[in-house]
């Protein structure tokens, strides 16, 4: 198992205390987090630094954005080895209508979506809505 330091270094990201803390925060949260979740968790930190850290993570395939239809962008850690590739790495997301959490279903990859000639896919966002396992009690 790689350490977080090794993971950041392998992506050519300089290791800083703030980056390590934010990575750990994302790893501890099973559900996707919003920028304001991160701001609340690190109240003393500069908001611009927090935002830049998430952007750096996103640009280097450490986190991915999720648009779950709530109008607020959420972020979740990528799996190790993920390159956020539209053909191989995109997975389903599940939004629970009861607890309002959104989780990655990383084992459930998005099937290849065909688009007409002349159209170029850059991203696919597939969100299933319903009741999560915690809320359904199963
Ligand atoms: Zn990814
Ligand atoms: Zn739920
Ligand atoms: Zn995800």
Ligand 3 centroid from CA 53, angstroms? 18
The pLDDT score that the predictor gives to residue 46 is 95
Which ligand has the nearest atom to the CA of 86? 1
Which ligand has the nearest atom to the CA of 60? 1
Ligand 2 centroid from CA 94, angstroms? 10
112: pLDDT strictly greater than 90: no
| All residues at 6 or more sequence positions from 117 whose CB lies less than 8 Å from its CB, including other chains | none
Which ligand has the nearest atom to the CA of 109? 3
Q: Are strands 91-96 and 74-77 parallel, antiparallel or unpaired?
A: unpaired
Ligand 2 centroid from CA 55, angstroms? 28
| All residues at 6 or more sequence positions from 59 whose CB lies less than 8 Å from its CB, including other chains | none
Residue 63: pLDDT band by 50, 70, 90 thresholds?
A: very high
Which ligand has the nearest atom to the CA of 99? 2
Q: What percent of the chain has pLDDT over 90?
A: 83
> What number is the average pLDDT over the span 73-91?
91
Which ligand has the nearest atom to the CA of 30? 3
122: pLDDT strictly greater than 80: yes
> What number is the average pLDDT over the span 78-95?
91
Can you tell me which residue has the tokens 């300089």?
Answer: 14
Ligand 3 centroid from CA 57, angstroms? 14
Per-position b or e across 83-103, b if 16+ CB within 10 A of its CB:
ebeeeebbbbbbbbeeeebbb
């Amino acid at each position: 198992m790689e350490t977080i330091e090794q993971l950041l270094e392998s992506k050519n990201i300089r290791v800083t205390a703030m980056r390590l803390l934010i990575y750990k925060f994302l790893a501890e949260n099973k559900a996707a987090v919003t920028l304001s979740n991160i701001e609340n968790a690190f109240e003393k930190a500069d908001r611009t630094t927090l935002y830049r850290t998430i952007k750096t993570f996103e640009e280097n395939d450490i986190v991915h954005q999720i648009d779950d239809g709530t109008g607020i962008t959420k972020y979740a850690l990528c799996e190790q080895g993920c390159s956020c590739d539209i053909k191989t790495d995109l997975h389903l997301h599940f939004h629970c209508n009861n607890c309002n959490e959104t989780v990655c279903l990383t084992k459930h990859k998005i099937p290849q979506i065909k688009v007409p000639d002349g159209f170029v896919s850059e991203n696919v966002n597939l969100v299933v809505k319903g009741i999560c396992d915690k809320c359904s009690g199963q």
